[in-house]
Amino acid sequence: MNYEEKLGRWMAAALEDTALLEELAAVRHDEAAVADRFYRELEFGTGGLRGVLGAGTNRMNIYTVRRATQGLADHVNESGLPKRVAIAYDSRKNGARFAREAARVLAANGITAFLYPRLEPTPALSWAVRTLGCGAGVCITASHNPAEYNGYKVYGADGCQITSRAADAILAAMGRHDYFESPRVADYAQAAADGWIREIDDACLGDFVDAVLRLRPGNDVRRLRLVYTPLNGSGLEPVRLLLSRMGIPDENITVVPAQEQPDGDFPTCPYPNPEIREAMTEGLRLCDAVRPDLLLGTDPDCDRMGAAVPDGAGGYRLLTGNEMGVLLLDYICRTRAANGTMPARPVAVTTIVSTDMAAPVAAKYGVELRRTLTGFKYIGEQIGLLEAEGYPERFLFGFEESYGYLSGTHVRDKDAVNAVMLACECAAWYAAKGMTLLDALQALYAEFGFYRSALRSVSFAGESGMKAMRGIMARLRGKPPAEIAGYAVEGMTDYQSGATGLPKADVLEYRLSGGAKLIVRPSGTEPKIKVYFSAVGGSEAEADGIIEALSGAAGALLHG
């Protein structure tokens, strides 16, 4: 079926969502626009679905959500999993509607849907899956993508994002269904009256926050002054509840007004990602007036956290995900060693693209450092393995460079509520010693070396872009470079080979002379290739110079 035939099929389907029908009518004579909406189906992987909102098979809409949920329902019913599924959504456009549509399909398939009655964070969904004994979970979110995106993230019974095997099973089940006739859809009100759709009560969220609080080392944080931004997402309620229970007075917390309330348009931060300076600009401006100890920001589904700290010169400096990860790793290790709560054979987990500085920090405290593929589901999987061995307490901390952190086993995903607690505790601990977090970071660099990391993303649009990405990766495999930016390639790892001990992944790693490293990875959620750089030097200037050289060579590497 060609693009025009698919367009005709959708337009003839008597779409319930008239806005989608109007969109298709508006573009029906635009060949490129039609092709972009129908040249593929949204890819369903271990992160579920993610895409631009709109009409077509390559868009997020009620029909792609229903079809995906029918595939999930088939998987749950066929695999003997508990016939219970938890559902959450964040502030994205159509989030509540997509959540209700998923609940309707599950109910029609004899599966009880537990639905948060208002927007809640992704980690709260992971918590609900485990607490309510569900066979799966669904979170309607596009994480930190721009406002035109939404997504459908699927979790397993362990509260972790689904494995590749489960994703393949759901995808195969989806293949048995079309977008319109075959998904079963219940009447929402009747399903709720019959008990197939149930609201998750407030106690579940409160218990989640309490689980985070139990991870506190217990420093006195009452004097901390904070500026906080939920970036118009789902973090406001749980983060304010956490900070209150930690004992930080309300008058010490200033929430960024323009970013306080949920708003799927994200009017002050078109790319609502705390990794991006633009998203944190409103908070940084407020810092100039409030002069807090910390600026904290959480992304729309509140699983990533960004922070800025006083720079000693009257301004504020944003910390990278790697810098915060190393600070928290060292803080957790040193405090647990000091108070006698360090477990036997402790384990910390990070990813192959995160800073190499984690290795010497972990080694100092006798902590085993495990590296996984990119994606916090792999860190969550390591917690599950320790749990299966009977030693979940061995897990100390997991982090990834993209601002994801977790210090407990209460959930199986990155948790920005947990990260806010850790950042406040860490800042208070150093403040008692007369140090800021930037002072602490400089002390770690002086001890372990000046590590630097950077990321460059190259975007590719549409069908031709996807082909171009595949061509670049094929070329790099077929003709590996001998040097990059003048640094000899001393070793290369192709994670697609299956010889690494990790699952196969479309990732290439180049180890360079002088201890530098470059990794090339197509994004799993966006049409772009990401290039990661890392270096270590005897000074900041030396390490920064290496990163600058590698970044400058990235374009030539990708485009030949």
- Contact present, 399 and 319 (Cβ < 8 Å): no
Round to whole Å and give the CA distance between 383 and 373: 14
Task: Respond yes or no: is residue 354 known to be catalytic.
Answer: no
- Contact present, 404 and 376 (Cβ < 8 Å): yes
* Bridging pattern class, strands 395-400 and 404-406: antiparallel
Round to whole Å and give the CA distance between 83 and 157: 11
Please return the burial class of 320, using the count of CB atoms within 10 Å of its CB with bins 0-12, 13-18 and 19+. buried
Counting Cα atoms < 13 Å in the Cβ hemisphere of 463 gives 13
Which entry of 91, 126, 143, 407 is annotated as an active-site residue? 143
Neighbour count for residue 167 (Cβ, 10 Å): 20
- Contact present, 557 and 550 (Cβ < 8 Å): no
Round to whole Å and give the CA distance between 291 and 310: 8
Largest CA distance in the chain: 70
Residue-wise DSSP of 308-376: EEE-SSSSEEEPPHHHHHHHHHHHHHHHHHHHT-PPSS-EEEEETTS-TTHHHHHHHTT-EEEEE-SSH
Counting Cα atoms < 13 Å in the Cβ hemisphere of 126 gives 28
Tokens (6 digits) for 472: 């670049």
Neighbour count for residue 366 (Cβ, 10 Å): 11
Round to whole Å and give the CA distance between 151 and 60: 7
Round to whole Å and give the CA distance between 557 and 242: 46
* Bridging pattern class, strands 305-310 and 197-199: unpaired
Which residues, at least 6 apart from 499, have a Cβ–Cβ distance to it below 8 Å? none
Residue-wise DSSP of 420-448: HHHHHHHHHHHHTTT--HHHHHHHHHHHH
- Contact present, 451 and 355 (Cβ < 8 Å): yes
At residue 341, φ and ψ (nearest 5 deg) are -110, 10
For the chain, percent helix, then strand, then coil, each to nearest 5? 45, 20, 35
Which sequence positions are flagged as catalytic?
A: 143
